[in-house]
Structure 1
Amino acid sequence: MTVKQLRAFLAVARTLSFTQACEYLHLSQPALSLAIKGLEESLGGRLLIRTTRSVRLTPEGETLVPLAKRLLADWDSTEEVLRQRFTLQLGRLSLAAMPSFAGNLLPQALMVFRRRHPRINVTVHDVINEQVIDMVRQRQVEMGIVFEPEATGSLTFTPLFSDRFVAVVPADSPLAQHPALDWDTLMSRDFVALQRPSMVRRLLEQQLGPRHVGLKVAFETHQLASVGRMVASGLGVSAVPSLCIRQMQETGAVCLPLTDPVIERNVGVITWTPHELSVAARALVDVLVEHVSPPGLLADQDEAAR
């Protein structure tokens, strides 16, 4: 039983005329007759009684009419919903992003996406870096925004930009007057760190190597906002990815370029390789690639490094 056969049957059932049904469907009489015959053969009996002077429905044909109407209505509705999704007139999208990105750079990208596709509903899961990767791997979300994983496995990573660590110091500290800081100077002060298993904490310890044993961790917290507030209050200094600069500045802390060494890691979009992204997800990736850029302080850090 095909959609074409059902449409042919309903046209004849409405008009009780093969001639009028042919005009309505823009079909020839042989094509219409063949469609009705194929439908009757697939169902196992006659649906119409046709004579040279009239057409009428059999009891089975009468039974099929409301069922066929419902089937075709569902089919048309399905076609329309999918057409709207493919043309980005309708749909929903779920993504996960690490807090440092979700709270700083993502809102601007979502504004661009919303202007382009106002009828796409977007759900954002603001979770730590490791959870983002797990959610993508378990297909709880279509895409995630993370620091580049050490091993992607079945995942695909699309880089957006290379992010670097910056120093976070109190506004009234003598350190705030420096154009840039090196790690040895920063680590000579009490340090405010994110708690493990934070990716930011792990990156620091991995990149600093033997140096990190000299890290005077005086305070630990799970929240980046708390790091900024503790530093602004004079409890110590810290180091965060540059995409957190605005968040740190809002707490009253000062951010400075960090050198010797420059610690950096790619930030990008991670997706599940075997799973084809929806049209909406691909459109959001395009927006992120086009509009997301590292904070301006990175240019200053480049100059300081030279």
Structure 2
Amino acid sequence: MNIKQLRAFLCVAQSMSFANAANQLHLSQPALSLSIKSLETSLGGKLLTRSTRTVSLTPEGEALLPIAKRLLTQWENAEDEMKQRFALQLGKISIAAMPSFAASLLPQAIRQYHQRFPNVQVTIDDVLSDAVVDMVANNQVELGISFEPDTLNDLTFHPLYEDCFIAILPKDHPLTEQNSITWQALLAYDFITLQRPSSVRALIESALANAGIPLHVAFDAHQLATVGRMVSEGMGVAVVPALCRKQANEQGAICRPITTPDIRWQVGVVCKPRSHLSVAAAAMLDVLIDSYRSLDLESH
């Protein structure tokens, strides 16, 4: 039994005329009769009784009629839904993003995407960078925005921009008088950073170790927002990705470039290969790449 046979049966059953049904379906009467016969053969018995002038349903045909209507309606609804999904008139995508990115830069791309595809629902999970990669790998989300991971396995990474790290200081801190700060000068004060495991902390520790600079941590926290709040309350100084600049300023902290060593890291989209993405997710990937390809956080 297939959808063409059901459609043929329903058309004959509703019109009670092979001639009228053949005309509606744009088929020859022999082709229509063959389709009905094939349906009857596959089901195991007669569905229609046909005389010279009349067509009537057998009891089994009567039983099939509401089932055929329901199946055809479901088929047409499914067909319509899939066409809408492929045309981006319907759909849903999930994105995991680092909280600092989700709170500062992501809304720009989401707004552009919504203007182009208003009927596609977008869900955002703001999680730590390391968790972003895990969520993509475990099929919890289609797209993840994070720092470039050390290993990708079966995932792909699409760079969006290069982020630099900046120092954040409490107001009236002595180092705010300097236009640029070295790590040696900064680490003379209580240092606040993220708890392990954290890709941000790991990058800082690696860069300082390579430069032969010891790192002594006074306080650590789980979220960059908490680190920024602790700095603004005068508990110490910190180094964060430049994408946190706006949030740090809003919390009352002062931002300065930090050098020697200068730490930079690619921020981008982690996802399965493009051929594995839904149409909605592939369109979002393009919007993300277009939105941030020329972003310069150092000038913001």
TM range (shorter): over 0.9
1: CA distance, partners of 2:297 / 2:272: 32
Tell me how far 1:210 sits from its aligned partner.
5.2
Shift of 1:274: 9.0
Task: Give the match for residue 125 of structure 1.
Answer: 125
> Matches of 1:149 and 1:293 in 2, distance apart?
19
2-structure distance, mates of 1:210, 1:116: 46
Of stretches 30-39 and 144-153 in structure 1, the one that deviates more from structure 2 is: 30-39
Q: Following the alignment from structure 1 to structure 2, what is the Cα–Cα distance between the partners of residues 183 and 58?
A: 88
Please report how far the alpha carbon of residue 214 of structure 1 lies from its aligned counterpart in structure 2 after TM superposition: 2.7
Query: In the alignment, which residue of structure 2 is the partner of 1:218?
Result: 218
Residue in structure 2 matched with residue 81 of structure 1 by the alignment:
81
- Superposition deviation, residue 299 in structure 1: 4.5
Could you list the per-position Cα deviations for residues 252-279 of structure 1 after superposition, in whole angstroms to 9, with x for gaps in the alignment? Answer: 1111122222211111111134971111
Match of 2:279 in 1: 279
SS of the counterpart of 1:217?
coil
Task: Specify the alignment match of 1:42 in structure 2.
Answer: 42
The residue matched to 1:161 in structure 2 has which SS?
Answer: strand
Cα separation, 2, equivalents of 1:294 and 1:239: 24
After the TM superposition, which residues 5-154 of structure 1 pair with which residues of structure 2 at under 5 Å, given as runs?
5-154=5-154
> Hey, what's the Cα distance between the residues in 2 that align with 1:234 and 1:287?
39
Structure 1: which 5+ runs fail to align? Answer: 301-306
Deviation at 1:287, TM superposition (A): 1.1
SS at match of 2:141: coil
Change (3 A) 1:287 1:74: same
| Contact 1:167/1:255 (8 A) holds in 2 | yes
Note the alpha carbon deviations across 1:123-173, whole angstroms, 9 max, x for none.
Answer: 111111121111111111112111111111111111111111111112312
Distance of 1:119 and 1:55 partners within structure 2: 46
Q: Number of residues paired by the alignment?
A: 300
- Per the alignment, residue 229 of structure 2 pairs with 229
**Whole-angstrom distance in 1 between the partners of 2:211 and 2:89:** 53
2:266 aligned partner:
266
Asked whether the equivalents of residues 205 and 212 of structure 1 are also in contact (C-alpha less than 8 Å), the reply is: no
Q: For residue 162 of structure 1, what is the aligned residue in structure 2?
A: 162
Q: Tell me, in whole angstroms, the C-alpha distance in 1 between the residues paired with 2:108 and 2:220.
A: 30
Whether contact under 8 Å (1:95, 1:124) holds in the other structure is: yes
RMSD: 1.8
Q: Name the amino acid aligned to 1:91.
A: G
Deviation at 1:62, TM superposition (A): 1.1
State how 1:167-186 maps to structure 2 within 5 Å: 167-186=167-186
TM, length-normalised to structure 1: 0.92
Amino acid in structure 1 at the alignment position of 2:111: M
- Other-structure match for 2:239: 239
* Residue pair 1:165, 1:239 contacting (<8 A) in 2 also: yes
Change beyond 3 A, Cα 1:254–1:297:
farther
Partner of 1:201: 201
CA distance in structure 1 between the aligned counterparts of 2:105 and 2:283, rounded to whole angstroms? 17
Identity across the alignment (%): 53
Offset, 1:177: 2.5
Change (3 A) 1:295 1:259: farther
Stretch deviating more after TM superposition (229-238 or 131-140): 229-238
Distance 1:220-1:211 versus aligned 2 partners, 3 A rule: farther
Matched residue type, 2:207: Q
User: 1:233 Cα shift?
Assistant: 2.4
Contact 2:96–2:144 at 8 Å: present in 1 too? yes
User: Which residues of structure 2 form unaligned runs of 5+?
Assistant: none
Partners of 1:169 and 1:293 in 2: how far apart?
Answer: 29
Moved more, 26-35 or 1-10: 26-35
CA contact (8 A) 2:274 2:282 kept: no
AA at the equivalent of 2:8: A
Shift of 1:193: 1.1
**Compared with structure 1, are the counterparts of its residues 165 and 292 closer, same or farther at alpha carbon in structure 2 (3 Å cutoff)?**
same
Q: CA deviation at 1:297?
A: 4.4
User: Per the alignment, do residues 290 and 129 of structure 1 end up closer, same or farther by CA in structure 2, a change over 3 Å counting?
Assistant: same
SS of alignment partner, residue 46 of structure 2: coil
CA distance in 2, matches of 1:230, 1:57: 79
